[in-house]
Structure formats: structure tokens, C-alpha cells
Chain A
Amino acid sequence: MSIVFSNVFHTYGLKSPFAFNALDDVNLTLEEGKFIAIVGRTGSGKSTLVQHMNALLKPTQGKVVINEWINSSDKKERTKKLAGLRKDVGMVFQFPEYQLFEDSVIKDVAFGPMNFGVKEKEATEFAKEALSRVGLDESFYERSPFQLSGGEKRKVAIAGILAMSPKILVVDEPTAGLDPQASKEMMSLFRTVLESGTTIILVSHDMDIVAEYADEVIVMESGQVKKQCKPEELFGIALQEYSLDKPHTYAFAESLRQKGIDIQSKSLKNVNELALAIKEKLNG
């Protein structure tokens, strides 16, 4: 499943004094099977961009093609039935714990698949599988989602999307407000989801996570795509122009360079790679 944006504009408050271009002529191709990160400061249009991927928002101009589905500003061109698209492109919103409503965890997770026509029995199976993927065992099945801790709620909400077995998973700031351990678990979950063949599209402010997990980065600024490249390429160049932070590993290497130790490594995904690069430098 690839996603192609062609000349997409999205204007909020069209024809009013509040009119504002959240997307400004976006052209973008997202390939399948990749872990793609979307970065940019608050208000740069990241969330608006991802909401076009499952047609929650419609472009005010231009079109988005997601495999056989067309989300276009032109009503005639737009695919009529979008339910299938919503199943194939799972969307996990920021603070997804606020979308829980059923009286038990298992019912809430099975809610998604059942909406797409899966029978209750089968949906419960999907739900159990999804819950085990996010690391919640049987003891959680019958509990009320409102009794859980914040992190557990979020896991339930994400399981609710995974149970729909989407082909593309869009996650908006999944680690916001989680402790470091929980965010690590969350990210390794997304890695296993990626390995099972699902494309991951991640919106994040955390450059460490982007450096470590993403295959490709898209930089957004005032509604425009400023750059689409590999993370090492982005973090190698001056990031200030996009007002983004450097990941800690790159910042550390930069600091070493200023002190006269030049590490010859292109990719510094995580502390491990950084240590390896330093070792290489020391040894020879």
C-alpha cells in the first residue's frame, strides 16, 4: 500500500477571516513496508497531513491516492465507500486513551473489527491476539478500561487499532506522557508490527526515537514538506533551519568533533552504534 499526495491543499475556515492553510501544496509519496517518521514543530501541519491518509479530512484542493482509494477535493473523483480505507489505514491519535468507552477491555478492543463486519467470536480472537501483542495478559480482559493506569489505557487503545489488522498504521505521538521504559516498550511494539509487514507512519517530536527507528523522515514546516530523506542525512546537516533538535547520539558526536575527535560514522541510530563508532575511532 503506497500513499501518494498530489498538490494537496487543506484550508481551515475557508472563506472566513480565520482562513488558514494547514497544508500548502503537498506532494509526497510514501512507500509500503517502511517505518516513516513525520517531524516538524507544533502547527506545521503534521496531524492534518496524516488525517488525509484515511480520509478523516478531505483535501480542499488536490488529491491523495491510497492504493485503490482516492481522497480528492473533487466529489466525483473521491471513492464513495471509505470504510475499507479506514480498516486498512489504522489511525492511533494522540492520547488515544480518551477513545475508550466499552465496559470491558476485551469488548473495547473487539469494537473496531466488529465495525468492519467481523463476527463477534472472531473479533474476540483478534482482540486477544492484539492484547497479547501490546503485552496485556488475560487478567485484563474483563476489567473496565477506566480502572487502568494511563499507560495501560494507551496500550488498550492501540490494541483496538491493531485488532483491525491494518496494512498501514499511523501513530500520532504515541510516547507523549509515557515514562522512558514504557516508551521503549511502545516503540519495540511498533517495530514488531513493522516486521509483520505493516507500514508504520509515526508523528513525533522525539528525535531520539526518530533516529533509532525510522527508515525515512519527512520534515514539515508551515504546511509544506521541506525534506524527505533518511534520518542520518537529516541529522547530518544543520537542523536549526527546521528548528528541530539533534538526537542525543548525533549531538554527542558533534560535541566530540568540536573537541577534536571526528567520528567517521554516518548512522548513529542509538547509543550502541555510537559506542561502536567511538571504539572504531579509538582502535584505529
Chain B
Amino acid sequence: MASFSLGKYVPFKTPIHKMDPRVKVAALIFLMVAVFLSYGSYTMTFTVMGALALLILILMLVSKTSILKFLKSLKSLWFMIIFLLIIYIVMPRTTGSLTPAFQIKGYQFYWESFLDAGRILLRLVMMIALSMILTSTTAPLDLTFALEWYMTPFKLIGFPAHIIAMTISLALRFIPTILEDVDRIMKAQTSRGVDFEHGGFFKKIKAIISMIIPLFVSAFVRSDELANAMECRGYDPNGKRTRYKKLSFRVGDFFALLFVACVLAGSIYITASGFDLYALLGVSVL
């Protein structure tokens, strides 16, 4: 299960690791919005997106997020990426002007399709990079605390934010445990001659069944034991809970928030005003 490395928390001590998880969640959302806005002309779009990509790259370097792991996680998405690119290139958009590029067997391709495909690819890559920065610098529990904090206002209308948060944190807590189970069961069945990597369709199905059934059995046993243990320690879903770790908002967090808010405000301004640096300078590229 070594492939499950996407966004796993890595305990370094960088400024980004030390940030308040609530600020990190907000920053992620702000930057994501900036990534997904459209910026008028293609030149302007790619300029702004290039700037954002540079910012994300700097963030990755500062937070010591492994670029290698990032590329690996992209590798596992190659199918989706190729699918998207083909859709964009084969089916040109119907609005706006199109510049013919070339023809293959009478089928017309347009330059704009390639640019659109490139834009969506860039957005996707940046989105993955951003979420990876968040998850690799924030411990899962801190992340759930942040989510719970954001859900607090909904408590007023009777939304069980703390129960949801507990469920999420339990689920997150058990991901590594279940992966360990998977590993253990796979090894046990491999010892009994099951081959998880080779073999035809039916052999693979049988191999997977030999793993899934024991996995379910142990997951149910575990959840039963967990429920009992929580009950024995007096867990009351509706009780008021205190925190071992208090979230704290520091000066650095304020500046970080201010910075991403400025980035977002800037990008919204560019979108809304149709600001075009190249038109202003009188240069035309495309």
C-alpha cells in the first residue's frame, strides 16, 4: 500500500506546518477560487496562472512538500487528464471565435481547443498541488478541528457539527489502521499462494474476495470494540467536549490570511474589470 502516499501528513517544522489549520483551510479555498477564475484573453489567463503556479511552487518548497510525491500522484491521474484533454480538443467550444489550426481527415481542429485544454490541465494540477500542500502540512486531527470550527455557526440551526467532526476524525484515524489490516491480510493470503498482481480476471476477483471478506470482518469487529470503548469512557455524542489542543490564531496567521486575501482580491479585480496588461502595454501576443 505504498501507493497511498498522496497528501499524507509529513511532520516537518516549516512556517506552513505551524500555521493555524483554520487559516490554511481558508487560504486553500481562496487560492482555489483564484485558480478557477477566468482572466479574459489567453495571454492574460496564462500570465496570471503562471504567477499563481509560481506562488504554489514556492509554497511547496517552503512547506517541504515532496515534489516527487506530487508527480507520482499526478501519474495516478493520467487517465483522467488524458480523457479531459481529448474531450477538450475533439469537441471545440461553441461560443466565441475559433482559429482553425489544422485538419485531420476532414476534421477541423482549433488552436483555442488546445489552449482551453492547457488551461484546464493547469487548473487541475494546481488544485491537486494546493490540496496536497494542505494535507501534507496539517495533521488530520487538526484538519477536522478546523472543519468543525467552520461548521460551528450551523449548530444554531441544530446541525450536529461536533458529531460530524467526531465521525470524520474517527474515519481519518482508522484509515491507517485499515491500510495496515489490508497489508496484513494481503501478506497472509500471499503466503497461501494468492497472487494479487498477476493472473486473469477470475483469479483477480478471487484474490480480491480473499482480501475483502477478512477486511470487512475485522472492520466490523473493530468498530464494535471502538463503540464499546467509547461508551465505557463516557462518550456522550451530545455532551460538551473540551479540547486538549487549542487552536490559536497568531500574527503570522493574520499576515498569511491577508496575503491570500490580497491574491484573491487581485484576481477578482482582474476578472471583473477585464484588466489586460498586454493591451495596456500595447503588445499583442495572440
Contacts and interface: CB of A to CB of B under 8 A. Distances in A.
Interface of A: 16-17, 51, 54, 56, 83, 86-87, 90-91, 93, 96, 98-101, 111-112, 115-116, 146, 160-161, 164
A116 B10 contact: no
Given A17-B12, A111-B210, 5 more contacts: A91-B188, A99-B188, A101-B210, A115-B195, A116-B193
Nearest to A111: B192
A21 B241 CA distance: 40
B98 to A, nearest CB: 48
17 contacts: A17-B10, A17-B12, A56-B191, A86-B193, A87-B193, A91-B188, A98-B188, A98-B214, A99-B188, A99-B214, A101-B210, A111-B192, A115-B192, A146-B217, A161-B191, A164-B192, A164-B193
Given A101-B209, A101-B214, A90 B191 contact: yes
B189 interface: yes
B214 A93 contact: no
Nearest to A14: B2
Contacts of A164: 192-193
A160 B192 contact: yes
Q: Which interface residue of B11, B209, B214 has the most chain A CB atoms within 10 A?
A: B214
Given A101-B213, A146-B217, A112 B10 contact: no
Nearest to A100: B214
Given A16-B10, A146-B217, A93 B184 contact: yes
Secondary structure at the B interface, as helix, strand, loop or mixed, is helix
A162 B210 CA distance: 18
A56 B11 CA distance: 29
Pairs A-B, 3 closest by C-beta atoms? A115-B193, A101-B213, A99-B188
A100 B211 CA distance: 9
Nearest to B195: A83
B72 to A, nearest CB: 13
Nearest to B184: A93
A264 to B, nearest CB: 45
A98 B194 CA distance: 16
B137 to A, nearest CB: 13
A112 B192 contact: yes
Interface in B186-230: 187-195, 209-210, 213-214, 217-218
A111 B188 CA distance: 12
B124 to A, nearest CB: 26
Nearest to B68: A15
Interface in B1-44: 10-12
A165 to B, nearest CB: 12
A100 B181 CA distance: 14
A115 B191 CA distance: 10
B218 A98 contact: yes
Nearest to B185: A99
A107 to B, nearest CB: 11
Given A17-B12, A87-B193, A115-B192, A51 B214 contact: no
A16 B12 CA distance: 11
Contacts of B191: 54, 56, 86, 90-91, 93, 161
A87 B185 CA distance: 17
A51 B187 contact: yes
Contacts of B218: 98
Contacts of B185: 98-99
B175 to A, nearest CB: 16
